[in-house]
Amino acid sequence: MQTRLAPEFLDMPLGQEAESILRRCVHCGFCLSTCPTYRLTGNELDSPRGRIYLIKQLLEGKEAGSETQHHLDRCLGCRACETACPSGVSYHRLADIGRHLLEQQVMRHPLDRVKRAFLLRVLRNRPIMQGVASLGRLARPVVPNWTASLGERTKDTHKPAQDGEPWLLLAGCVQPALLPNVHAATRQVLAACGIKAISLNSCCGALAWHLNASWEGLNDMRQTIDQARVAFANGVAGLIYDATGCGATIAEYGRLLADDPAYATPAAEVAANAYDISTVVARHLDRLLPQLSPPADPRIAFHAPCSLQHGLRRKGEVETLLERLGYLLLPVSDAHQCCGSAGTYSLLQPKLAEQLRTDKLTKLMQGQPPVIATANVGCQCHLQAESPVPVRHWIELIAERLAATQRPA
């Protein structure tokens, strides 16, 4: 794609990076059929190719307004287009650049600004989120539909491992409040693998970054990096995450902070030493398997989060692990498609998110599974709000089998 950057972008590193990405796009259109929003609206401006054109216009100095913002906001950031792209276009990075530049140029509607500021302040504040989630659970008998996405808080009887190889476990911002049992399950399984999990109580930065609050997002990343580096210096083996949305962002730390002289190297170090819980479990499978009872019902439908299969490029790896753990994975058509959660997307674009969820649940329920398993907090909460069967993080299923063997007869 030929570009003629406006003078103000010519000497900017962001402008040069964007031009390099734009030049890789050959207008082939392979991305169109993989784009969730294009499939719903049929509007090419709601496709990766259309959005690339809008960002190109912005960088060439053409006037951009609320319509450009509207179409960029409707992008889920699922990155399915990148998986399909034969030219290796880094669409998500170009979209980041376009959105952040547009945020500085186009004033949002006051209601939209208030909504985004509210999400930015509340969702990243763990005490507030804990309080909101607790109130939601109390209100469940009165408003079950509004609180269906909240995971139940059961008593954690697991005793933290006192020995074993020390690893950090990223707590994140919303998961401890919305799905408290996931971290408890992760700690239990890690202990069975001979790993002592040490909580890292920080936010990966994804939430703020995807709300175009770049300063807050980068600051969250720096805080996570600071804490992780101290732990690494004290002998901690690495960083584990059990939310793939966090993992996809951590994997980008080296690039996102490449221009920060104080954090470029530490960011790359943390990214290189961060692992999804599935990777750690797979490495210790020989030790874990003898401790597990057989699954009560091995049939599950697995929803692979976009952050797992497109962001982290680990398509099929968790599914293979689940099969090795004794599960029968039922077929799910169009498994590459997004469920509509996409972080705060389901709150900011509810109509599109609900359509995508309905379609995804239809595909997931084709084999009539007793349970749907996934690997990310956003997907789990979003799907559970309308799912006819329980939606669980797969690590919870393993922890329950582990607990069954440890329970006194």
Res 330: pLDDT? 97
Q: In what order do the strands lie in the sheet with 165-170?
A: 195-200, 165-170, 239-241, 274-276
What pLDDT does residue 247 have?
Answer: 96
In one-letter notation, the amino acid at residue 404 is A
Domain ranges (residues) in the chain: 7-105, 126-280, 292-406
Domain 7-105 has CATH 3.65.10.10: no
pLDDT of residue 407: 66
Identical fold between 7-105 and 126-280: no
pLDDT range class, residue 125, cuts 50, 70, 90: confident
User: Worst-scoring range by mean pLDDT, 19-28, 187-196, 284-293?
Assistant: 19-28
Q: How does the average pLDDT of the chain come out, rounded? A: 90
pLDDT of residue 368: 96
pLDDT at 146 over 60: no
Q: Is the pLDDT of residue 409 over 70?
A: no
pLDDT of residue 149: 66
Q: What is the reported pLDDT for 105?
A: 85
The fold of the 292-406 domain, in CATH, is Rossmann fold (3.40.50)
Percent of the chain beyond pLDDT 90?
72
User: In the structure, how many helices (H) and strands (E) does the chain have?
Assistant: 25, 8
Among the listed residues 119, 76, 149, 133, the one whose alpha carbon sits nearest the alpha carbon of residue 380: 149
As a whole number of angstroms, the distance between CA 129 and CA 389 comes to: 25
Q: Which residue has the tokens 């584990």?
A: 240
pLDDT at 133 over 80: no
Task: Answer yes or no: is pLDDT of 157 > 60.
Answer: no
- pTM, two decimal places: 0.91
> What is the rounded distance in angstroms from the CA atom of residue 363 to the CA atom of residue 43?
24
| Higher-scoring residue by pLDDT: 127, 270 | 270
Q: pLDDT tens digits for 214-269?
A: 899 999 999 999 999 999 999 999 999 999 999 999 999 999 999 999 999 999 99
- pLDDT for residue 62 is more than 80: yes
Which residue in 177, 274, 174 sits closest to 229, CA to CA?
A: 274
In this model, does residue 153 exceed pLDDT 70? no
126-280: in CATH 3.40.50: yes
Q: What amino acid occupies position 16?
A: Q
pLDDT digits (tens, 9 = 90+) for 170-187: 999 889 888 999 999 999
- Segment 392-396 shows an average pLDDT of 97
Confidence (pLDDT) at 138:
74
Q: Which residues pair with 199 in a beta bridge?
A: 169
- pLDDT tens, 63-102? 888 899 999 999 999 999 999 999 999 999 999 999 988 8
Q: For 114-128, what is the mean pLDDT? A: 89
169: helix, strand or coil:
strand
Higher pLDDT, 57 or 130: 57
Who's near 385: CB < 8 A, 6+ residues apart?
A: 145, 148, 149, 357
pLDDT of residue 297 exceeding 60, the answer is yes
Mean pLDDT of 111-131: 89
For residue 364, the one-letter residue type is: L
Torsion of CA 63, 66, 67, 73, to 10 degrees: 120
d(CA 97, CA 88): 17
Q: In this predicted structure, what is the pLDDT of residue 261?
A: 95
Phi, psi of 4 (to 5 degrees): -135, 85
Q: Provide mean pLDDT across the span 382-391.
A: 95
pLDDT tens digits, 255-273: 999 999 999 999 999 999 9
What's the confidence (pLDDT) of residue 158? 56
